[in-house]
Amino acid sequence: MKLLIRNLARTTTETELRAMFAEHGTVQSCTLVIDKDTNLSKGFGFVEMPKPGEAKTAMKLLNGQDVGGSKIRVKKAEAKPGEAEND
């Protein structure tokens, strides 16, 4: 299941994001979206967790948590048009 994490502090690293979700299960991939011009975080990212149960637990427990002074928002990422749902 692919999760969208929004409202991340600009200082949050991909390593920190991965570690946060890894506490709740297997993390298949973790991507922090970076601004091409400034090379800084845009404040959101994606985490893929292969087991839906673990992803739902992580989503429930991490949504609204204060991380680096920002309350993060975690939800299931919407599939892009033409992209198959895989869960």
Note whether residue 80 is domain-resident.
no
Answer yes or no: is 9 within a domain: yes
pLDDT in tens, 44-78: 999 999 999 999 999 999 999 999 899 999 999 98
In a domain, 85, yes or no: no
Residue 83, pLDDT above cutoff 80? no
Task: Provide the residue range defining the domain that includes 28.
Answer: 2-75
Q: Is residue 36 part of a domain?
A: yes
Instruction: State the average pLDDT over residues 75-86.
Output: 74
Q: pTM of the entire structure?
A: 0.89
CATH of residue 43: 3.30.70.330
Give the pLDDT of residue 85: 53
Instruction: Assess if residue 81 is contained within a domain.
Output: no
18 close to 30: Cβ distance less than 8 angstroms: yes
Count of structural domains within the chain:
1
